Each structure stands twice: as structure tokens, then as C-alpha cells.
Structure 1
Amino acid sequence: MTKAQSKDEGSWGKLVRDIAVILLLVLGIHSCVAKPFYIPSDSMMPVLRNGDRLIVSKYPYGWSYASASFHLAPRTEGRWFAALPARGDIVVLEHPETRIDYIKRVIGLPGDTIELRGGALIINGKPVKREIQPMLSIPIDPNLPGPDSGLGRFATRDAAGRPVLELPIVRETLPGGATFDTIDMGPGYVTDDFGPIKVPADHLFLMGDNRDGSADSRVPSSMKGLGGPVPFEAIAGRAEIISFSTDGTAKWYNPLSWFTALRSGRAGTNLRPERDGSANRE
């Protein structure tokens, strides 16, 4: 072997090692610190829209098998450095059966009794504060309404003739003070009446903000729901901020469209719920 051949082989070996280190570093950040997440549906409207891109932090609740990227880790019980979410946090989780990523809001903690009557949420026997808000007008685009959405019934046109969704909004305030907007499409939905059910130890009750269009803890797994309270170890992380949002018009072959497809006013939106200091705290 000549010196030139030895040098070439050494250079290739160093390149392979460098690439391996970079991949491991990216995988470690993805699994332990933060990762991007794409919103593919309307189940978390009005806070999150189909086409939003988020940053999800991995460390606030400790780590479990669900923290690993690409669902490669075997399922195990428990968490390392565990810390329970607060009511109102938006969390990403692995579906307990399918291992598909879901995003929902924490409504019930271990020991809570959850009930819905006529679409009104009741926690531990006390109705959650509900305040009707003005109708929310959101522009319709190729990403909104999302696939299989029931929000199309609210399509109309604004004063300028542009297509919009006029959405009925109800603001909820959970025990502990988390306050956020939900969509209530009206009576007649199966998920309007549920429970009561007590959340087991080491489990969480999760719901979507689009209350009549979310496959969550109220919905059987046979209907793509979560099938009840979710084990704490299935939680992968907490949604923190919207990094950017697109309207569905971008084309991979047209770089200019990557910019024109950006929705204005979405980037930088903080996804931590507001806290009402006057609410009862537990």
C-alpha cells in the first residue's frame, strides 16, 4: 500500500466518523432536547392550524421511551427525572397502540374525575369556567380546513368577498388557572357527553381544543382515538412555540413559493397557556 492510498483511506475513515458523530448528535438533540413537529389536522384549532410547524421540548417532563426519535425505543414503564405536566399544557405523545404521534392538551391529572355534559367540561364535580367569545374569522387556504375536517360548515365570505371560516369560540379556564380558546360546533356530537371517569395513577386525560373534531381520550382507539386516559410514559414532550406556518401553496420545485406560502403572524406564537391568577388553584 502506497502512502497516497493510506492517506486516502484515512481521509475517508475520518469523513465517515465525522458523519456518524453528527448523526448521533442530531439524534441526541431530537430525543433529549427538542424536535420539530408538523400539525396535520384541525383537531387543535383554533390555537393550532393545519400547516403549523412547532418546536417541541423533550425535557420538561423527564424522559421515557416516547422521547426517542422515530419511535425506535421499545416500550418501557416509567420515566427518568419525571415531572407531571400542568393542566392546560399542549403535549405530543405516542398513541399507546399505534405509536403514531398525536398532539393534545392536558385536561385531567392522575386522580381527577372527568365528565362532559352537553359539551361542558366538569372536573372533580365542578363545571369548568366557560366564556362565549366573538366569532373568530380565519382565512380559508389549501391547508385550512384540513383533511376530514368538520369545520367546512362554517365557511363563508368576509366583507371583502374573501373565503373565511367564522368559528364559534368558547374560552375555558381549568383548575389551576390555564385559560385558552376552544371550538364548540354545537350540540349533537357523540363526544358532548362522556364519563364520569377517574384518571388512574400515572395517566393523563387529553383532549383537543376543537372539541367536536378531535380523536382524543373520549374516543375509542377503534375510531382512531386515544381510548381513555393515556399512560404518562407515552408523553414525548411539550409544545413550546410555532416556528413557522404554511398555507399549502408551496411547491418543492419553486423556491419562491416557499416564502409566499408563509402565513403571516404565526411564527413566534407562544403555545404555553395563559394563567388566570383569579382561578382556583389546587
Structure 2
Amino acid sequence: MTTKLSVNVNKIAVLRNSRGGTLPSAVEAARTCLRAGANGITVHPRPDARHIRSDDVYDLAPICASFGVEFNIEGNPFAPARAGYPGLLALCETVRPAQVTLVPDSDGQLTSDHGFSFEDALEPLAAQVASFKALGARVSVFVNVGNPLVARARDVGADRVELYTGPFAEAFLAGGETLANYLHACAETAQLAQAAGLGVNAGHDLDQVNLTAFLRAVPAVREVSIGHALISEALYDGLETTVANYLAAIKKAAC
């Protein structure tokens, strides 16, 4: 099994929104990434429309369809609709993404930094998962590495979990025993999820330098979703070259 690369284009929209207008285009960025071999596109539309907006979601869906790749939409299923944001379920009802990744973000959160704990009542989350699965979407839920309750993602009806890898990136910089211990925790969490019948995705702060080490240590990762680092690196090397570098890092991990 080869790990798939889904490129998150949120940061393209951040740059566009900082000036107004239409440049740079998230749609053209997505096309470029897909022409370079990326296996899918990820977006995380937030209620405050700070980066990807609802209209971007509508525009990107047919691009993914034309390339025959997966569209992954992330978001908090409990965030209410408001002006300019119809709600995560309503967006997905319109575009029917291949995958929906549920994340417990608050409205004011700068970026995703924690997963579902599964310590509270599971019924509300299970009801949300069921709504997205009724649209034909695969459902993944964001989880923390080291969560002993990760298998409960299966109890709420999820198909996959996405490991939050921000702390891994910090451990990678520290190196030594800190890194070894965290990689062990990543692998253990993945194995707990897989034993429950869940697929495993990963995302957050993965980059060209740390990706191969992560994939070598964690078994059978289905997909990595990478945005901030990839777009940052592409400012220097270009999108096509950067996507190719990530695909090479994934291939190297399998050797």
C-alpha cells in the first residue's frame, strides 16, 4: 500500500484574502498540485472564512472530479451555520466529497491542535458521523497520538482516524530519545486503531524533512494531508517541484 498525498490549499486562500481579489487562486494551485501527481486536495473551511471560503469548496470539487482524485473536507461538525458559512454538513451535501475529516476546533482556534478525546458521551458525534456517511463520504476523525481510547472512533461509526502530528514534528526537532519515544507512541496509536478496523491518516506539521521517518515508523498510513509546510516550501521551489519532493519522500519510506 502506498501512502497518498493530499495537499491542503488553505494557505493559498490566506494569501489571497490578505489582499482581496482572486489572486493567488486556490483552484489553479490545486490544478498544479494534481498535475504534479498529488493524490487529492484537502480544505478546512472555517466559519470565519479566514482562508478557504464556501465558494472555494464549490469550485474545487469539480477540479478533483476531473482529475479523478479525492476531495477531503475538514471541519467541526458542531459549528453552527452563519452568514457566509452554511455549516459543514450543508457544504458536503452540495459537493459530496470522498472524505470528511471531523475536527473539534473552536471558532477562534488558530489551527487544529487536538483531536477528539472520546471521553464524553459518544452519541452526538456518532449522529454527526452517520449524517456524513449518509452522503456517501468516508469519515475520518482527528485524534491525538497516545489516546488509549482511539478505538472508540469505530464505535461512533468512523472509517478512519487522522493522527495529529504536530507534537511529532516538535519531537523530530528534538531528536534522540524524545523522537524515539514519540514515534513509538505514534505507531502504537496507529496499531490500536487498525486493530479496531480503522484506517489511519496523518497530518499537521509534516514536511519534507520529517515525513519519511514518520512513515517508516508508523505502519500502513493511508494518507497524509499536508498544507502549511508544502505551500511554504513551494514559495522557494515551486508547487510542482515541491509536490514531487513529497512524493519522493513517501516513496523513500517504502524502501
* TM-score when normalising by structure 1: 0.27
Q: Name the larger-Rg structure.
A: 1
**Structure 1 or 2: more helix by fraction:** 2
* TM-score when normalising by structure 2: 0.29
**Structure 1 or 2: more strand by fraction:** 1
